[in-house]
Amino acid sequence: MGYEKTIVRSLSRVEARKLGLALLVGCCLVVVTYFISMSDTAADQQPPVYYKVRDNGEGKITLPKQEEDKVANDESQNKKPAAVAHTSIKEEITESRKPEETIHPRIREEAARIEKMKPPAAPVCDLSNFRTEFCDMTGDARVRGGKPSSVMFASARHQNAEWQIVPYVRKHMENIEKVAVKVTNDPESLPRCTAKNSVPAIVFALGGFTGNYYHDYTDVLLPLFLTARQFHGEVQFLITNIQVWWLLKYQPIIKALTRYEPVDLDRSGDQVFCHPHVMVGLRFHNDLVIEPPRAPNGYSMLDFTAFLRATYGLQRDRAVSLREQPARRPRLLLVARNGTRRFANVPEIVRVGEELGFEVVRADAKFGNVSGFAGVVNSCDVIMGVHGAGLTNFVFMPRNAVLIQIVPCCELQGMAAHTFRQPSTDAGLHYLEYNIAVEESTLLEIYPRDHPVFTDPQSLHRKGFYEMGKVYLGQQNVRLDLNRFRPFLLKAMDLLRQ
């Protein structure tokens, strides 16, 4: 019996081992089957390849690694010669590295689509403005001196073209020499450089209306700021019709805009100046106006007047605040003109101004003394004068100051407002406009009261600016009716209290 029990126990152990082994094998089969099914499901869920083709930001197309391997296998099956075998799809998109026929069709199609999306090359010259012309060339640009001057620009992205550009903000001026601007696809046709420069260049002209204080700013100084300031002095001025006296008059401004001596293009013979960036003409928005959305770096009139104050070392950024300093006597600058449109009763104006609490300053700029007069202007809180170039000095006024423009008779309000209203308000000043009555005009000493000069001003305006200007600008002075004008001085005082 003991022997039989021993045999039974041995058989039981064998059956248990068999059962355990069977269970282990079954579990392994289940696990293997699960992973196989999951692998197939994951493969089915992969997005199609066109979701993976993309521009990497450098003009090259990239594919996921598995797609690169798949394309490489496809090419291998097509039995391409070893000489054109590719190690990476990324290399195929650069046509300079591999022949086009070796680029995978999907990559070539995507590259063509992206190429079509690229914006066209900006035009070299903008002639759309009725007032001015401007050309902008970045690349291989060469300026040939002499009279007339010319600019040649090599570009593969632009079609061959040629323009005759007036490098002055009034393109209809007949006394400004034109500059030929030519774009070519053939770099070999460019003239050989005699002077190479690493900074941008601006080609512009003096002459025109320069010499008139107002037009010095509207036609050159503000447009030059708008064009050159972004380069922080690293820019070269190439000037046609150069006026040495003019450059000396505004030397502080010129030196603040460029670290390089201006070049007289007319007298530079056959020299060829090569620059990586050349502009012909000056940026222009409107007379003494900057439109920040169109300006480099979003410049505004506030930036221009701050630049002038810094250039001439002017101390005051803001006018006096009578709210903070009620006992202070604000300074009133009375612009005294030496020619026409001058005040005929200055002593009476001074007396009323002082009675109302102003310290009245009588001054006018002497020729060439811009720096000295700028200091006088900046020390004042109100500037007042008859419509004319002298009011251009508002550009040196501190912010929150007041400009009072006296508009002569007859129907000159539109011209006067265009000249100074928006420019002064954009510069942070308060603007007041006083339109004189016929009785305040000295034209009554020349023409009878029932003359068309007074009764039908438009009959003169229709004859054009010069005919109108001979009478209303060239023969007229102003004798202010101080009882009528007094409220404007009181308003100026109130504005300084704000």
Domains of the chain as residue ranges with CATH: 49-117 (no CATH), 125-299 (no CATH), 315-496 (3.40.50)
Share of the chain above pLDDT 90, in %: 68
At 156 the pLDDT is: 85
* Gap between the Cα atoms of 64 and 207, Å rounded: 63
Give residue 438's pLDDT.
97
Sorted by sequence, the CB contacts under 8 Å of residue 221 that are 6+ apart come out as: 250, 253
Q: Which two tokens stand for residue 64?
A: 């996921």
Q: Does residue 95 carry a pLDDT above 80?
A: no
pLDDT score for 79 = 46
Binning pLDDT at 50, 70 and 90, where does residue 109 land? confident
pLDDT of residue 450 exceeding 80, the answer is yes
Is the per-residue pLDDT at 9 higher than 90?
Answer: no
3-state secondary structure of 314: coil
Structure tokens given for 374:
């700028």
**Looking at 117-126, 364-373, 486-495, which range is the least confident one?**
117-126
121 pLDDT band, cuts 50/70/90, is low
pLDDT score recorded for residue 59: 41
The confidence band for 58, taking pLDDT boundaries of 50, 70 and 90, is very low
Q: Is the pLDDT of residue 74 over 70?
A: no
Q: Residue 163: which of 127, 189, 139 has the closest Cα?
A: 127
pLDDT bucket at 367, cuts 50 / 70 / 90: low
pLDDT tens figures, 401-443: 999 999 999 999 999 999 999 999 999 999 999 999 999 999 9
Farthest CA pair distance, the chain? 160
The pLDDT value recorded for residue 29 is 58
Structure tokens at 348: 């009476």
> 425 — phi, psi (to 5°)?
-70, -35
**Token pair 């914006």: residue:** 119
Q: Where are the alpha helices (DSSP H) in 316-475?
A: 346-355, 370-378, 413-426, 452-455, 458-461, 465-472
| Mean pLDDT (the chain, rounded) | 83
More confident residue, 11 or 494: 494
Spatial contact of 199 and 164, defined as CB atoms under 8 Å apart: no
In angstroms, rounded to a whole number, what is the distance separating the alpha carbons of residues 115 and 113?
A: 5
Separation in Å, CA 342 to CA 92, 214, 236, 384: 77, 17, 41, 12
Rounded mean pLDDT of 1-20? 47
User: Which residue's entry shows tokens 């006024």?
Assistant: 397
What pLDDT is recorded for position 103? Answer: 67
Nearest to 62 by CA among 51, 46, 48: 51
Decide the pairing of beta strands 382-386 and 402-407: parallel
Q: What are phi and psi of 406, to 5 degrees?
A: -95, 115
pLDDT at 91: 44
Q: What is the CA 270 to chain-centroid distance, rounded? A: 32
Tell me if residue 373 falls in helix, strand or coil: helix
Q: Is 135 a residue whose pLDDT tops 90?
A: yes
Query: What is the arithmetic mean of pLDDT over 53-65?
Result: 44
| Range 165-184 average pLDDT | 94
Q: Read out DSSP for 1-59?
A: -HHHHHHHHHHHHHHHHHHHHHHHHHHHHHHHHHHHHHHHHHHHTSPPGGGT-EE-SSS
The C-alpha atoms of residue 20 and residue 424 are separated, in whole angstroms, by 99
Residue 124, both tokens: 């070299």
Query: How large is the average pLDDT for residues 116-145?
Result: 84
Q: Is 497 helix (H, G, I), strand (E, B) or coil?
A: coil
Compute the distance between CA of residue 127 and CA of residue 206 in angstroms, rounded to an integer. 20
pLDDT of residue 14: 45
Question: Is pLDDT at 117 greater than 90 in this prediction?
Answer: no
Site of tokens 């006992």: 327
pLDDT of 483 higher than 80: yes
